[in-house]
Structure 1
């Protein structure tokens, strides 16, 4: 699935340098996720409603993307391509609802974390993301084309999973008997797989629009609409909503979402869903490590397991993203030895 509107990335994504640069961008996208989570958590505690907090996050992201659309010439040009892409059948109407998957993901956090805890939620989400990314790449549903499940990718996926389990191991030990939450853990696992689908849908649109601005904008439109309905329902059930937060930094969650949604939409057409997910997982662990070191939340601290798990995730990225040499070239190198 290619498009003449899709600009070539700096450096071939099939070369080590090109792939490395794109995976670094995935790292940057992942670093924004724990910071957004910290802000959403603070807003949720102040408002007493995770859904209302998510609506504020999506609304601030929508406001930023609207400014990007209106003020940047590239934004106006690419958004103007949406009607033609839909009429030609290159983009289906349901692809533009990808942002609702992000809204459902936020809702799954509010539903399951109080029962299964953050640690189990994280492991389940990462597992779903990696399984979803490899499956979608193997089916060829991304603009990057069919990408087989190579030994390097399998090793990278296993290393990333072990890295995440290592980081959250102390919390997993305190969870207790898994019988009470094992079935509920399927919810974040499916939500994680859903985020891989969201990235693919955004990548498919980006391949036709020329840049990730329209897909990111549509994500926030769809997500905000769904969360507005959910917030209205909860407000009717609870008797009203708390006033919006007054601190300016509590509105930075949406712009951070613009960063990782936009970068993911940019990366999926180039390296596929799995490497994008793997890079973002590594970035998420790295961002969490830095955040806990600089501004730790109450009850959190950096341990040796935290550092080891983060380094393991970075190693997994290197292993999975290193292009495998063609068979003929590998044979010639062995003969030369």
Structure 2
């Protein structure tokens, strides 16, 4: 007679999952800077996003070929979809990542990494609340406890204050709306990734499906843009670091797909937000984009979001 594995089998401890999420946030901020710079150098954010995701797909494909567990996981995930135990749309969650990378290439270099990050946070926080309440993530439905709602409200207030302090006539409104949309899409992506990773038994498998869907979407968008704009860029930069966005994306997608099984979408989002804000501050200080400088409001915003993370992670009896 055999017994079923415990429900938390294969999951990280909470402290480890929180640490992974914070580090992934730092990597996301770094990727925003790199992809934004690549888009700026090319003068074409659409092509920059397609290049980044396509390189990432190649990296993940090689990893899957080298890992028997990942290959088995791919077959298991497809079987789960055929058996209607896993919604088919979750295999296409990489579209959310595509929106994020595209927004990096189009907006990050213009608005700066810090402002881009706080705009992204707004969409991610609200969407994380909704996703957890509906129960899309691997942890199922998570009630909106008083502390979780309070933590999200603090984060939203910080975002509103920080963005309003930085808006200028030089920044088009759509450049702030785009990362907001990307944040909402990424929250759904992270929840679906956790489900696919749990169903397949492999976070690498969920990462593969992410890059297949995202690369296809971005390649089509880049082709359409090139047809309308008269072609692709004629000259491509030779600096190797401008193409590191792809391996960074592989790393944080894998990490977030692993951590979300423990944290839930809202806590995952707020932890990664802390890393993003801290990383974006450091980046804007040591390697600012052209014409951008950091002011006193951003470090305060980062500290307040850390407070929001602590509030949302504390236990609470009340729920809605």
Which stretches in structure 1 are left out of the alignment for 5+ residues?
12-17, 328-337
CA positional deviation for 1:277: 0.9
In the alignment, what sits opposite 2:69? Answer: 74
1:32 aligns with 2:24: no
Structure 2 residue 313 is matched with structure 1 residue 321? yes
Tell which structure's C-alpha radius of gyration is larger.
1
Equivalent in the alignment of 1:309: 301
Indicate conservation of the 8 Å contact 1:141/1:200, yes or no: yes
Shift of 1:296: 3.0
Name the residue aligned to 2:182.
191
Q: What residue in structure 2 maps to residue 330 of structure 1?
A: none
1:296 aligns with 2:298: no
Q: 1:131 aligns with which of 126, 132, 146?
A: 126
TM-score with structure 2 setting the length: 0.86
Q: Is the CA contact 2:132–2:142 (under 8 Å) kept in the aligned structure 1?
A: yes
Residue segments in structure 2 that go unaligned for 5+ positions in a row: none
Q: In 1, distance between residues paired with 2:244 and 2:107?
A: 24
Query: What residue is the counterpart of 1:159 in the other structure?
Result: 154
Q: Is the 8 A contact 1:29 1:263 kept in 2?
A: yes
Aligned residues of 2:40 and 2:105 also touching (Cα < 8 A): no
Which of these residues, 175, 196, 201, is aligned with residue 205 of structure 1?
Answer: 196
**Deviation at residue 83 of structure 1 after TM alignment:** 3.1
Question: CA offset at residue 22 of structure 1?
Answer: 1.5
Tell me the C-alpha RMSD between the 2 structures: 3.1
The answer (yes or no) to whether the contact 2:33–2:109 under 8 Å persists in 1 is no
Give the TM-score of the pair, scaled to structure 1: 0.82
Report what 1:230 is aligned to: 221
Counterpart of 1:270 in structure 2 is: 262
Query: Distance in 1 between the 2:299 and 2:112 partners?
Result: 21
> Partner of 2:84: helix, strand, or coil?
coil
Q: How many residues align?
A: 315
* 1:307 shift after superposition: 2.0
Q: 1:21 to 1:5 in 2, by over 3 A?
A: closer
Q: Would the alpha carbon gap of residues 38 and 121 (structure 1) be closer, same or farther in structure 2, given more than 3 Å must change? A: closer
- Cα distance, 1:164 vs. partner? 3.5
